[in-house]
A = this chain, B = another copy of it.
Amino acid sequence: MEVSTAESIHRYWQTANARDWEAFAALLHEDVVYTIPQTGERVGGRAGYTDFNATFPGDWQVEILRVLAEGDQGVSLTAFRLGAQEQTCITFFEFEDGLIQRIVDYWPEPYEPPARMSKYVERD
């Protein structure tokens, strides 16, 4: 059965939320590489990357806010929630033979903006 890129991204988060690590691992290429450019961290291989997720502490849940897919690439915008904490996560996916081969995660944090030159900027 052919599964679309967008559908695989939805399954990725659904199986993670369900802690169904067998179904999660089945979405991954054996040589999947996961990176977090902000920290320089990297996890390689299906077994290692599944372990990284399975051992991630806490009763976290991920809400999918947006998924875009084009061919064998896709991106998700999600809200990662742990208790009262919420973090935004943006994840780029690359697929090969219908399996996730490359995952790049970004975790943007709130920050204090610089002074703006334009008078048109409003702030919540």
In the complex the two chains form, is A37's CB within 8 Å of B70's CB? no
Assembly stoichiometry (copies): 2
Whole-angstrom distance between the alpha carbons of A3 and B91 in the complex? 27
- 9 smallest CB-CB distances across A and B, nearest first, come from A48-B120, A40-B124, A55-B117, A39-B113, A108-B108, A52-B118, A106-B108, A55-B118, A68-B70
Interface residues of A (CB under 8 A from B): 36-45, 47-49, 51-52, 54-57, 66, 68-70, 73-75, 77, 88, 90, 92, 106-113, 116-124
In the complex the two chains form, is A112's CB within 8 Å of B39's CB? yes
In the complex the two chains form, is B51's CB within 8 Å of A120's CB? yes
Chain B hits for A112, CB < 8 A:
39
Q: How far is the CB of A46 from chain B (nearest CB, A)?
A: 11
Chain B hits for A119, CB < 8 A:
51
**Given A38-B109, A42-B123, 6 more pairs with CB closer than 8 A:** A39-B113, A40-B123, A56-B117, A69-B70, A75-B75, A109-B109
Chain B hits for A39, CB < 8 A:
110-113, 123
Set B38, B57, B74: member contacting A110, Cβ < 8 A: B38
Q: How far is the CB of A16 from chain B (nearest CB, A)?
A: 14
